[in-house]
Amino acid sequence: MLEISKVSYSYGGNAVFSDVSLSVAPGSFYFLTGPSGSGKTTFINLCAGSLIPEIGNISIFGEETKSMTNYELSKMRRRLGIVHQDCEFLDHLSIEENIILPLSIAGLDSIKERANVLELMKWVGLYSKSKVKPQELSGGERQRAALARAVIMSPDIILADEPTGNVDWEMSQRLLQLLVELNKMGKTIFISTHDLSLVRLAKSHVKARTLRISDLQLSQAGADL
Amino acid sequence: MRFFLKFWKILFDSPEHLQVVPNTGFTKWLTTFTAGAMSFLAVVGLAFSLICSDLAYEWGESLKNSSSIRFSAPADLLEKQTNIALAILDQTRGVESARLVGIGDKKKLLEPWLGVDFPLEAIAMPALIEIEETELGVNYEGLRLRLSAELPSAILHNHSQWRRPIEVVATLVSQLGIFTVILITLSSFAMVTMAANAALSANVKVLRVLRLVGAFDTFIVTAFVRRFTLRVFLGSLLGTLCAGLVLFFIPTFSENLGILDDVNLDLTDKIYIASVPFLFAIISIFVTRNAVRSSLKRLV
């Protein structure tokens, strides 16, 4: 599903990481941990096709991101659900319109799909805020809205970069619960986080693996904490 | 009509495209105002150029095949000498028609200096014969020789001393007008480019979000092109309308001077002017497309 093979990446000659390899199986749950600056966001961006590896290859759904055109990358992103720490929205649209945006863009916003959006908003607990603008939401609500947007297209993989970075512990638990539910539905979850208590909590609910970029540089296997 | 329908379809057909790019913020007004102001200047410059071009043509044409004979004679000999001059002209090749300029026409010619009710009859004025020539023109040297033999007081004017400088000045002014229009068009190109880039800088987040949710680059480019082109088109339409109103309310030359008849914006000129908003829309399409594409290339 997601194959990372001997990937290196640097910014202006400063290596972020090198020779990283990983194989992600469908339906698995991964945590990528490490301190700030260790390359977690870069790793997620590489997996999302937003960055292209300088050395090595990343294959998603059997295709190498390096050889994909912009069109193919966009098509691939429709099968990925991506949640960033600073979850960005189109501020001039309501939360409902933001969540339905991937469907609108893909031309799939039929009445049936719109009904599904409302169900999804109930699931993330934002049904009552559907007409509210993103800037009027709290940090946790924004994260849940970003998660709803990420899963609206029923993606096979969900990549979340520090999804609980800006929210309190209670909200972190709520978000984790949503991600665990998605994993139980068969979705592959890949989360980068520096919050080890979140990792511990997840492991009590689901079989999750924890990876550190430094471990990936040496071997293909992740190291369980 | 088909062109307008196609144009309308390009701009308004897909609400999804328009929806994703915000229609708020200072860049909205920046783009609209820039397009409006530049269109106003372009229309005024274009009108200036077209009027000068018409003026050059009119002046050149009106003086091209005309000349005149002036002679002084006592009142009792005036009719006789006029008949001699008209007879000579009747026999001269290249003369289409000739007529004696009457006292009424002279009064009209001198009206700006002497006033409406000046008693011009009381002054001994030289007689003036206006000659309309054929396309072949008149042999002035031959005519001059014959006049000196048969009507020594007659002086022939072939108007070239007036026509050439007027033609040269009018042509120069017309070329200056064209140069101004070219400059304004290029400046408009630059201004629309800057406005589009400023608007894009303010909307980088929109680009990021659209990329994140899997929008194809063509969708993103089309969305921005539609939004910006719509703004530019509306701004340009307003600018053109304002300039059109200004031109409409400026009194025509002919009403004031009476010597520059038909120097006005004709239908073709008005079509050129009406095409300015469409030209701006086309500029905007190219400029925005390139700006969005380069922004997408820089996007992580």
pLDDT tens for B179-197 read 888 888 888 888 888 888 8
- State mean pLDDT over B220-246: 91
Q: What is the pLDDT of residue B104?
A: 87
Residues 6 or more apart whose Cβ sits within 8 Å of residue A184: A206
The string over B199-213, giving b where at least 16 C-beta atoms fall within 10 Å of a residue's C-beta and e elsewhere, is bbebbeebbebbbbb
A63 has which bridge partners? A60
- State mean pLDDT over B101-112: 85
Q: CA–CA separation, B220 vs B289, rounded Å?
A: 10
Whether B76 shows a pLDDT value over 60: the answer reads yes
User: Would you state the structure tokens that stand for residue A70, as one six-digit string?
Assistant: 């912009």
Domain parsing of chain A, residue ranges:
2-218
Pick the CATH number of A2-218 from 3.30.1280.10, 3.90.1200.10, 3.40.190.10, 3.40.50.300: 3.40.50.300
Provide ipTM, 2 decimals.
Answer: 0.82
Q: Could you give the count of Cα atoms lying within 13 Å of B127 in the half-sphere of its Cβ? A: 23
Q: What is the pLDDT of residue B251?
A: 60
Residue of A nearest to B207 (CA): A90
Q: How many CB atoms lie within 10 A of CB B255?
A: 9
Q: Determine, for residues B209 and A51 on separate chains, whether the beta-carbon distance falls below 8 Å.
A: no
Q: Determine, for residues A93 and B19 on separate chains, whether the beta-carbon distance falls below 8 Å.
A: yes
Whether B164 shows a pLDDT value over 80: the answer reads no
Q: Which residue has the higher pLDDT, B263 or A173?
A: A173
Helix segments in chain B, DSSP class H: 2-12, 15-20, 26-64, 75-90, 103-114, 140-150, 160-201, 204-212, 217-249, 253-257, 267-274, 276-298
Q: What is the pLDDT of residue A220?
A: 40
Q: Determine, for residues B214 and A153 on separate chains, whether the beta-carbon distance falls below 8 Å.
A: yes
Q: What is the pLDDT of residue A98?
A: 92
Contact yes or no for B202/B27 (Cβ under 8 A): yes
Contact yes or no for A19/A216 (Cβ under 8 A): no
pLDDT tens for B200-210 read 888 888 998 99
Residue of B nearest to A70 (CA): B217
pLDDT tens for A110-161 read 777 777 888 888 888 888 998 999 999 988 889 889 988 988 888 989 999 9
Residue B237: which of B1, B49, B45, B43 has the closest Cα?
B43
Q: What is the pLDDT of residue A57?
A: 92
Q: Determine, for residues A70 and B214 on separate chains, whether the beta-carbon distance falls below 8 Å.
A: no
Q: What is the pLDDT of residue B255?
A: 54
- State mean pLDDT over B258-267: 62
Q: What is the pLDDT of residue B263?
A: 57
- State mean pLDDT over B135-151: 89
Quick check: A97 contacting B, CB < 8 Å? yes
Contact yes or no for A102/A117 (Cβ under 8 A): no
Q: CA–CA separation, A158 vs A147, rounded Å?
A: 9
- State mean pLDDT over B163-188: 81
Q: What is the pLDDT of residue A85?
A: 83
Residue A52: which of B213, B221, B297, B217 has the closest Cα?
B297
What confidence category does residue B18 fall into, taking pLDDT thresholds of 50, 70 and 90? low
What confidence category does residue B163 fall into, taking pLDDT thresholds of 50, 70 and 90? confident
Q: What is the pLDDT of residue B12?
A: 61
Residue of B nearest to A102 (CA): B213
Q: What is the pLDDT of residue B252?
A: 57
What confidence category does residue B113 fall into, taking pLDDT thresholds of 50, 70 and 90? confident
Angle between helices B276-298 and B2-12 (to 10 degrees): 30
Domain parsing of chain B, residue ranges:
2-60+164-298, 73-152
Give the least confident one: A21-35, B149-163, B218-232.
B149-163
What confidence category does residue B277 fall into, taking pLDDT thresholds of 50, 70 and 90? very high
A83 has which bridge partners? A160
In this complex, the residue of A70, A82, A105 whose CB is nearest that of residue B16 is A105
Q: Name the pTM for this structure.
A: 0.72
Whether B237 shows a pLDDT value over 90: the answer reads yes
Percentage of chain B modeled with pLDDT above 90: 20
Q: What is the pLDDT of residue A222?
A: 41
Q: What is the pLDDT of residue B176?
A: 84
Percentage of chain A modeled with pLDDT above 70: 96
Chain A residues with CB under 8 Å of B300 CB are: 45, 50-51
Chain A residues with CB under 8 Å of B215 CB are: 74, 105
Q: What is the pLDDT of residue A209?
A: 85
Whether A221 shows a pLDDT value over 50: the answer reads no
Residue of A nearest to B15 (CA): A104
Identify the contact set of chain B against chain A, taking CB-CB distances under 8 A: 16, 19-20, 22-24, 205-206, 208-219, 296, 300
Q: What is the pLDDT of residue B262?
A: 53
Residue of B nearest to A81 (CA): B213
Residue with structure tokens 């997620």? A44
Q: Which residue has the higher pLDDT, A57 or B7?
A: A57
Q: State chain B's mean pLDDT as an integer.
A: 83
Q: What is the pLDDT of residue B13?
A: 62
Q: Determine, for residues B214 and A101 on separate chains, whether the beta-carbon distance falls below 8 Å.
A: no
- State mean pLDDT over A11-38: 86
Q: CA–CA separation, A174 vs B27, rounded Å?
A: 39
Residue B224: which of B292, B141, B160 has the closest Cα?
B292
Whether B257 shows a pLDDT value over 70: the answer reads no
